[in-house]
Amino acid sequence: MTIELKVPNMACGACGKTITKAVREIDPQAEVQTDPKTKQVIVDSNASLTSIREAMPSASFAIAAAGYPAA
């Protein structure tokens, strides 16, 4: 399944790497594309949207827990 998210706080390539790492903690095989210019994150994963956004130990969504809440 392909999931597209808008992440307004993503400003640079390092932000994209942090987001990718957070998503891969939920699904290690996920393909993640990030574009800081358009603020888009595209995740191709067998996990559901709910799983990708599943609570991490901090009880925040995976991407939000990394400091980048999706709009």
Using DSSP's 3-state secondary structure scheme, residue 62 falls into: helix
Task: Yes or no: say if 68 and 9 are a contact pair by the CB < 8 Å rule.
Answer: yes
What pLDDT is recorded for position 36? 93
This prediction's pTM: 0.74
- Spell out the CATH class of 2-65: alpha beta
Task: Yes or no: say if 7 and 32 are a contact pair by the CB < 8 Å rule.
Answer: no
Beta bridge partners of 4: 42
Laid out side by side, the sheet with 40-44 consists of 2-6, 40-44, 31-35
Q: What is the pLDDT of residues 3-53, one digit of tens each?
A: 888 888 888 998 888 888 888 888 899 999 999 999 898 999 988 777 776
